[in-house]
Amino acid sequence: MAILLDKSTRLIVQGLTGREGTFHAKQAQAYGTTVVGGVTPGKGGTTHEGWPIFNTVGDAVEQTGANTSVIFVPAAFAADAVMESAAAELRLVVCITEGIPTLDMMRVLTFLKDKPRTRLVGPNCPGAISPGKAKAGIIPGHICREGRIGIVSKSGTLTYEAIHQLTELGMGQSSCIGIGGDPLIGTSFVDVLRLFGDDAGGLLDLFDGSDGDGFGMADRARRAGEWCGSTPGSGPAADAASGAARPRGLRRQVIIREFRDR
């Protein structure tokens, strides 16, 4: 079953009037996502590519019924954009922006502790897609195929690679989530496993960190494996960590583990 995004998604784009925001809003709409508008401070009351533009997320939610936001704003303003969406009580905020200062993200995560209705995916992530239903972010829709396998990855490129290879094998996906490569992110591997819950299909986890991110892949694999093994109905899962082909000195430990139903 799909998680995070489905046919009920009503998406706003923070930074819609910028180049990246415009391009990916059009891609999302073409894929079938209900894109209801954009937010660019100072441009409220105008339209862009046929979409209404609002000064604040609160205005956009009030006038369009938006429940999800995707953020394409410069790193200096991205933390405030996330907190603004959380203050408006959006259920999902997907932050694509990379390069957000760690101190800014500490403020964001502290702010989100008092906003339990909002889930943040990212930052520095490719976003999320539920094939055949909706997408928010930069994952190409044409490589996806609707099905029953869920994907979660820390690496954007390997998210696309896993999706494409599964599609080429005739194996469709329920939802694909790129959680982001920064040290401080809103949603973890285990968080996504919990969201998939009792999904009737399989679950493919790509445990791929970023060099220097300070997190051990072995520990992530262990914690996710323990969760899968101890949670009734969690379904089978395959976990893969890449890095064997990296040059010596940049190589990371490679761990491939399988967890089966108990």
Parts of the chain belonging to CATH 3.40.50.720: 10-121
Is the confidence at residue 259, as pLDDT, over 50? no
The CATH 3.40.50.261 domain(s) of the chain lie at: 127-259
pLDDT value at residue 218: 57
Please tell me the CATH superfamily of domain 10-121, with its number.
NAD(P)-binding Rossmann-like Domain (3.40.50.720)
**Under 8 Å between Cβ of 155 and 206:** yes
What distance in Å separates the CA atoms of residue 229 and residue 87, rounded to the nearest whole number? 36
The DSSP letter of residue 230 is: H
pLDDT in tens, 141-192: 999 999 988 888 888 888 898 899 999 999 999 999 999 989 899 999 888 8
Instruction: Measure the CA–CA gap between 106 and 99, rounded to whole angstroms.
Output: 14
Instruction: List the beta bridge partners of residue 47.
Output: 52
Mean pLDDT score, 57-69: 98
In the predicted structure, residue 217 carries a pLDDT above the cut 60: no
Give the tokens for residue 17: 């009037």
Per the structure block, which two tokens stand in for 165?
Answer: 């290879």
Domain 127-259 fold: Rossmann fold (3.40.50)
| Residue 9: predicted pLDDT | 98
Confidence of residue 32 (pLDDT cuts 50, 70, 90): very high
Q: To the nearest whole number, what is the mean pLDDT of the chain?
A: 85
Residue 247: DSSP 8-state: P
